[in-house]
Amino acid sequence: MAKLTLAIDAMGGDRGPSIVVAALIRALQSFPDVEFILTGDEPRLQALFKREGKNLKAPERARVHFRHTSQIVQMDDKPSQCLRHKTDSSMRVAIDLVADGEAHGVVSAGNTGALMAIAYLRLKALPGVLRPALVAAIPNEQGGQSFLLDLGANPGCDSDSLFQFGVMGSVLAQELHDIPTPRVALLNMGTEDIKGPDVVKQAAVLLGQSSHVAYQGFIEGSDLFSGHADVMVCDGFTGNIALKSCEGMARMVYDHFKRSLKSHWLSRALVWFLYRRQRKAWSWLNPDQYNGASLIGLRGVVVKSHGNASANAFFSAIEHAIAEAASDLPARIHDRVEQVLSEQHT
Amino acid sequence: MAKLTLAIDAMGGDRGPSIVVAALIRALQSFPDVEFILTGDEPRLQALFKREGKNLKAPERARVHFRHTSQIVQMDDKPSQCLRHKTDSSMRVAIDLVADGEAHGVVSAGNTGALMAIAYLRLKALPGVLRPALVAAIPNEQGGQSFLLDLGANPGCDSDSLFQFGVMGSVLAQELHDIPTPRVALLNMGTEDIKGPDVVKQAAVLLGQSSHVAYQGFIEGSDLFSGHADVMVCDGFTGNIALKSCEGMARMVYDHFKRSLKSHWLSRALVWFLYRRQRKAWSWLNPDQYNGASLIGLRGVVVKSHGNASANAFFSAIEHAIAEAASDLPARIHDRVEQVLSEQHT
């Protein structure tokens, strides 16, 4: 594969392949040099693509390939059973394409646990990487982005893994977001040295000693959006709880706002006015542009889209995967981990 | 002490004793049967009280007592040093009043770590209680309240402690909020049985087996405000991160909203209109009324106010402490823990 090729699991997610195909059409127009392989129910995908893509030019259409699969990983399937019994699922085949060198990366909106398990089995961790990590960008109050990891690939972590997450997160922020010296912080229950579990305190020592990370110290949950750090590190249990708690808070405020304004025509008019006026100021908070969590530390690019992503959001996930594949993020992470390991051994 | 007596650390918190005295004056008027002992710099407190309380009636004034102390626990003091060297601090003396039977409970807005350490040392855990827990009420989308614990008293917990948190949280919800059968859930990174760390899965087994808890299963961070559970249990590290992450999210949205509306006179007018119209609908979200985290599982009532609480918010913390003392919450928790232990031993 000379050209950059992306495998896309077209059957994952709650909203089905029509979302994926709509995002793909946008991607074909935005990335003229990228090839795409869609895995899934080929007749259905072909029909969808023919109908939705009729305005595409012939060279754009020619960059799409299909790989028929007979199975689908359901959202509530157990990862262990997917590994054994769903070897012809759209998700598995998409990952296999990366493992077999036919694609540089994969995007899926399917079952997160299954995706992590299959990717780990088929792509393997990079040499020296203890555990892959799930990382996502979140908006910060400075108008930029910060990266939070791990978001759930590793429920519990030792301090060496947390240290490596800081290293891998730094490489991601440098390579993909042009932050020359990403500030790395550990998520903790206080900013004082004595606070928190031993494993977090030990990770602080490792990060502080390394010349490969610009370690800033501890931050608290209240600083998640402050932009005080570019890379924020915690174990997968903590990261999952933190991010989902914020989602819950945001949804509650939004729903309540919407509901409480319905009562009065003037309220509704005001909201319309505010929306038009504020749209631009709030666009940096648009969840669509933050869709796409990357599983890093593996020998290949793996991007997880939110299960109920819109076509725009799924397109963001495709963009992430292309950026990671184009900069060969796995090789960059491999290089840095090797440097870190050689520093530790001297 | 026949009458209900509350000790108040008047020097804790970021905003000084004037907040405490203002809250106290409201409490004297609201709770005609409660006595208060203020610990701190007596001349300063007397002067403040004389000035601010001049409209109080004589019997109201007579229910305030002062206990002079020469030291103050600072917000950045280490708990271990407070234990050893700040034995005449307003915080320590207020807790001592409870330990020595002169007060039924204590309220402080001071250093959380020091408050937990001193309270644990002086008041001791109830018989059978493995670890005290810090618990707070949070608003839910049903318009009610849910309780989250632990919020930071115990960075890491074994499954037995998590189980006891569920028991203690149930008693709190029953005694103070008239919820006959509080629904208890464990905070986890997924709702399926196979998800999460072993310690959480083991706690699920213990909660499911007990006849003293209405266990509902796992909930995710996104359900923190859904009202799907009345009592939500996790270790102190997780609870601290979850709650502070939500604070961070709420502050970001609020600040951004405020800032982006400043630009246009019509926006400002609209906000004024919306505020007037929505005030009642949003009052259930008012952070003041949720001020006051309780340290439960000890032989006495301990309520922690937010460090930068307003007088209204500090009043809420006083209200919590009075309600807990009036229902003798420590005795209720003791009874339940004893029942649970006897069930386990038979």
> Kindly report the CA angle at A54 between A51 and A55, in degrees rounded to 5?
145
Closest chain B residue to A219, measured at CA: B241
pLDDT at residue number A8: 98
Q: Which of A227-241, A249-263, B74-88, B332-346 has the lowest mean pLDDT?
A: A249-263
> Is residue B267 less than 8 Å (CB to CB) from chain A?
yes
User: Which of B224, B237, B248 is the closest to A226 by Cβ?
Assistant: B248
- Which residues of chain B from 73 to 92 reach within 8 Å of chain A, CB to CB? 76, 78
CA–CA min distance B156, chain A (Å): 7
Distance CA B18, CA A345 (A): 58
Instruction: Kindly report the backbone phi and psi dihedral angles of residue B106, in degrees, each rounded to the nearest multiple of 5, phi listed first.
Output: -140, 145
CA–CA min distance B197, chain A (Å): 6
Distance CA A278, CA A270 (A): 12
> Is residue B156 less than 8 Å (CB to CB) from chain A?
yes
Q: What does the block give as tokens for A234? A: 């915690």
**Which pairing describes strands A301-304 and A293-296: parallel, antiparallel, or unpaired?**
antiparallel
pLDDT at residue number B81: 93
Domain ranges of chain B: 1-129+297-346, 136-287
pLDDT at residue number A33: 95
Contact A197 B155 (CB under 8 A): yes
CA–CA min distance B138, chain A (Å): 11
Residues 6+ apart with CB under 8 A from A257: none
> Is residue A197 less than 8 Å (CB to CB) from chain B?
yes
Distance CA A261, CA B267 (A): 16
Greater pLDDT, A264 or B105: B105
Contact A224 B196 (CB under 8 A): no
Distance CA B223, CA B130 (A): 28
> Is residue B249 less than 8 Å (CB to CB) from chain A?
yes
Contact B152 A197 (CB under 8 A): no
Domain A133-289 class?
alpha beta
Closest chain B residue to A248, measured at CA: B222
Instruction: Kindly report the backbone phi and psi dihedral angles of residue B75, in degrees, each rounded to the nearest multiple of 5, phi listed first.
Output: -60, -30
Give residue-wise pLDDT tens across range A69-90: 999 999 889 999 999 999 999 9
Q: How many residues are there in chain A?
A: 346
- Kindly provide the b/e burial profile for residues B167-203, where b requires at least 16 CB atoms within 10 angstroms of the residue's own CB: bbbbbbbbbbeebeebbbbbbbbbeeeebbbebbbeb
CB atoms within 10 A of CB B264: 14
Q: What does the block give as tokens for B153? A: 């008293």
Instruction: Kindly report the backbone phi and psi dihedral angles of residue B6, in degrees, each rounded to the nearest multiple of 5, phi listed first.
Output: -120, 130
Q: Can you tell me which residue has the tokens 């006849």? A: B211
Domain A1-129+297-346 class?
alpha beta
Contact B248 A277 (CB under 8 A): no
Distance CA B238, CA B157 (A): 10
User: Which of B152, B225, B278 is the closest to A260 by Cβ?
Assistant: B278
pLDDT at residue number A271: 67
> Is residue A202 less than 8 Å (CB to CB) from chain B?
no
pLDDT at residue number B147: 96
Residues 6+ apart with CB under 8 A from B319: B27, B30, B292
Inter-residue contact B169 to B184 (CB < 8 Å): yes
Instruction: Kindly report the backbone phi and psi dihedral angles of residue B184, in degrees, each rounded to the nearest multiple of 5, phi listed first.
Output: -105, 135
Inter-residue contact B284 to A256 (CB < 8 Å): no
Distance CA A134, CA A291 (A): 13
pLDDT at residue number A282: 59
Distance CA A281, CA B32 (A): 51
Run of H or E residues at A257 = helix A236-261
User: Which of A155, A245, A253 is the closest to B245 by Cβ?
Assistant: A245
How far apart are the two ends of chain A, measured CA to CA in Å? 39
DSSP A288: G
pLDDT at A260 over 80: no
CA–CA min distance B291, chain A (Å): 17
User: Which of B192, B195, B244 is the closest to A222 by Cβ?
Assistant: B244
Distance CA A137, CA A290 (A): 6
Q: Which of B112, B226, B246 to mutate to test the interface with A (most CBs of A within 10 A)?
A: B246
Mean pLDDT computed over A260-286: 65
User: Which of A241, A251, A260 is the closest to B242 by Cβ?
Assistant: A241
CA–CA min distance B102, chain A (Å): 33
Give residue-wise pLDDT tens across range A9-60: 999 988 889 999 999 999 999 999 999 999 999 999 999 999 999 999 999 9
CA–CA min distance B289, chain A (Å): 17
Domain B136-287 class?
alpha beta
Inter-residue contact B199 to B152 (CB < 8 Å): no
Rounded to the nearest integer, the mean pLDDT of chain A is 91
Distance CA B118, CA B84 (A): 10
Contact A249 B223 (CB under 8 A): no
Greater pLDDT, A201 or A258: A201
Tens-digit pLDDT string for chain B (346 aa): 568 999 999 999 888 899 999 999 999 999 999 999 999 999 999 999 999 999 999 999 999 999 999 999 998 899 999 999 999 999 999 999 999 999 999 999 999 999 999 999 999 999 999 999 999 999 888 888 999 999 999 988 999 999 999 999 999 999 999 999 999 999 999 888 888 999 999 999 999 999 999 999 999 999 999 999 999 999 999 999 999 999 888 888 777 766 766 666 766 676 676 666 666 655 666 667 778 999 999 999 999 999 889 999 999 999 999 999 999 999 999 999 999 998 877 6
Would A1-129+297-346 and A133-289 be classified into the same CATH topology?
Answer: yes
> Is residue B246 less than 8 Å (CB to CB) from chain A?
yes
The answer to whether the bond into A160 is cis (omega within 30° of 0) is no
Closest chain A residue to B77, measured at CA: A192
Residue type (1 letter), B118: I
Contact A196 B264 (CB under 8 A): no
pLDDT at A1 over 60: no
Distance CA A46, CA A21 (A): 10
Residue type (1 letter), B159: S
Distance CA A283, CA A11 (A): 29
How far is the CA of B282 from the CAs of B141, B285, B287, B296, in angstroms?
A: 11, 5, 10, 29
Q: Quick one: pLDDT band at residue A283, thresholds 50, 70, 90?
A: low
pLDDT at residue number B336: 95
pLDDT at residue number B284: 60
**Interface predicted TM-score of the whole assembly (ipTM), two decimals:** 0.89
**Which pairing describes strands A133-139 and A293-296: parallel, antiparallel, or unpaired?**
antiparallel
How far is the CA of A169 from the CAs of A128, A163, A207, B242, in angstroms?
A: 15, 10, 12, 22
CA A116 from centre of chain: 12
β-sheet bridge partners, residue A21: none
Closest chain A residue to B141, measured at CA: A252
Q: What does the block give as tokens for B253? A: 């949205």
Contact A251 B197 (CB under 8 A): no
User: Which of B222, B247, B277 is the closest to A247 by Cβ?
Assistant: B222
Q: Which of A241, A273, A284 to mutate to test the interface with B (most CBs of B within 10 A)?
A: A241
Q: Which residues of A touch B196 (CB under 8 A)?
A: 155, 237
Closest chain B residue to A271, measured at CA: B270
pLDDT at residue number B192: 86
Q: Which residues of B touch A224 (CB under 8 A)?
A: 245, 248-249
Q: Which of A252, A283, A284, A308 to mutate to test the interface with B (most CBs of B within 10 A)?
A: A252
Mean pLDDT computed over A152-178: 94
Q: Which of A150, A193, A199, A222 to mutate to test the interface with B (most CBs of B within 10 A)?
A: A222
CA–CA min distance B287, chain A (Å): 13
Inter-residue contact A73 to A90 (CB < 8 Å): yes
User: Which of B155, B250, B267 is the closest to A249 by Cβ?
Assistant: B250
